Amino acid sequence: MQIHVVRPGDTLWRIAQMYSVTVELLATSNEIPDPNRLVIGQTIVIPIWGSYHWVAPGETLFQISVLYNVPLAELIRINGITNPNNIPVGLRLYIPQKPRQVIDTSAYIDVLATGAASPAIVDRVGIHLTYLTIFSYAVNRNGSLTPITDEPTIQAAYRQRALPLMVLTNFEDGTFSRELATTILSSEALQNTVLDNAVAVIQQKGYGGLDVDFEYLGAENRERYNAFMRRAAARLRPLNLLLSAALAPKLSADQQGTLYEGHDYRAHGEINDMVFLMTYEWGWSGGPPMAVSPIDQVRAVLEYAVTEIPRDKIMMGIPLYGYDWTLPYVPGGQWARTISPQQGIELALRYNTNIEYDNTSQAPFFYYTDEQGRYHVVWFEDARSIQVKFNLVKEFGIRGFFYWVLGRDFPQNWLLIEDNFVVRKLV
């Protein structure tokens, strides 16, 4: 497939003509809100097998073959070129599809947030997933688990051959609780109670494993958390169940901060079958406007992670959402509104503004003024920002990637998965 960035004067009909596809195919594949109105800077994924290149002034076939890593003779043969030394400027060349890498993918779904819609969401996109991490069973201070209605979502996962994983959290009163985690992790008896209850749910409901998402633990819980995960592994492995953990995006072993200090990359790399690196939320709703998952920061996390964790255990996090900030940003002031990538396009269309692209973070953004005269900035994800993340997965040779969170996803993401990867299925 190919990513086209809308330029001034583009229409959907003109783009369809360029790539020899129909307007209907472009509109439905990209779920374009209004096919008669496009936003300058908007990305459109062209659903073709392979891609096209238009010859620029001064380009040679050899340069193009190197650019796309396609043998020169193959480029000549596929495009029926009779005089390789004289190719006209503007000639459209077909670039064949590259081999696709087999990887694991996963996505979290917050069944409390998506509710009764959860199974339909999974049925729509689950074919693209190896695992479905169902969020979440909150641990209580007595070791019991707060139940959730997850059976319909588990059934949907199996319909789409995605292995469901049960998510365990230290979530209390709407946030991750350091005090709750300390209570559980300081008591071997409470840990055993938690694991007894988790295994009972897994076996009763048909989960394929356990994902532990304990956050904001602090340095005092680092070794306690490692011990808990070892205890969990000892319980799950004899039952042929997977064990994973969601970890903060660290840059070094001794990184300061409550979010980071309790997560020991090396220990989790030894204990778990997989680790989910939460490589997002640099731009967050309560913080200053910036890209949610800037590629330079994601790269820095992976550069550190591969020194501590086996590559075949690393799952890189990708956000399926963005934020809309009201300006000026004031610390402690109004929080940004969470939006989907599709809502980002709709906002740019509604307020007749162009979408820009930041080359450092590799993310799209735009500004607009609302009906009350308030100035806004929106950072979100599009086909370009997703593709560069996919390129990072290939470059580092890691196990795969996962998403936070289903329910705000956008069609271009799933088209690009099909173009780049073959998703491993374990069910």
385-395 confidence digits (pLDDT tens): 999 999 999 99
The second-level CATH assignment, the architecture, of 2-95 is: Roll (3.10)
Six-digit token pair at 71? 């043998």
User: Which bin fits 360, alpha (ψ -120 to 50), beta or left (φ > 0)?
Assistant: alpha
Q: Report pLDDT for 123.
A: 98
pLDDT reported for residue 33: 83
Whether 309 has a pLDDT exceeding 90, the answer reads yes
Residue 1 has pLDDT above 90, yes or no: no
User: Which amino acid, one-letter code, is at 280?
Assistant: Y
What is the distance between the alpha carbons of residues 274 and 408, in angstroms, rounded to a whole number?
Answer: 25
pLDDT tens digit string along 5-16?
A: 999 999 999 999
Residue 188 has pLDDT above 90, yes or no: yes
Average pLDDT for the chain: 97
Q: What is the pLDDT of residues 374-412, one digit of tens each?
A: 999 999 999 999 999 999 999 999 999 999 999 988 999
Phi, psi (deg, nearest 5) at residue 143: 90, -5
Q: Which of 47-51, 141-145, 196-200, 315-319 has the lowest mean pLDDT?
A: 47-51
pLDDT band at 416 (very low <50, low <70, confident <90, very high): very high
The pLDDT of residue 61: 95
Domain ranges of the chain: 2-95, 101-320+383-423
As a whole number of angstroms, the distance between CA 174 and CA 113 comes to 12
- Checking if the pLDDT of 293 tops 90, the result is yes
CATH superfamily entry for domain 101-320+383-423: Glycosidases (3.20.20.80)
Mean of pLDDT values over 181-210: 98
Q: List Cβ neighbours of 104 (8 Å cut-off, separation of 6 or more).
A: 130, 131, 274, 315, 399, 400, 423, 424
**Which residue intervals of 126-264 are DSSP H helices?**
151-159, 178-185, 188-205, 222-236, 258-261
Amino acid (1-letter code) at residue 230? R
Give the sign of the dihedral formed by CA 246, CA 390, CA 342, CA 132: negative
pLDDT at 233 over 90: yes
- Global pTM value: 0.95
- Residue 151 CA to residue 196 CA, distance in Å, equals 20
What are the pLDDT digits (tens) for 162-178? 999 999 999 999 999 99
Q: Decide: helix, strand or coil at residue 208.
A: coil
Q: What is the pLDDT at residue 364?
A: 98
Instruction: Give the phi and the psi of residue 405 in degrees, each rounded to 5.
Output: -150, 155
Annotated active-site positions, please? Answer: 215
pLDDT of 341 reads 97
Q: What is the pLDDT of residue 143?
A: 98
pLDDT at 131 over 90: yes
- Whole-angstrom CA distances from 389 to 293, 353, 403, 410 are 9, 26, 12, 16
pLDDT of res. 409 = 83
Nearest to 121 by CA among 320, 292, 316: 320
Mean pLDDT, range 79-88, rounded to an integer: 93
With cut-offs at 50, 70 and 90, classify the pLDDT of residue 281: very high
Residues 72 and 369: beta-carbon distance below 8 Å: no
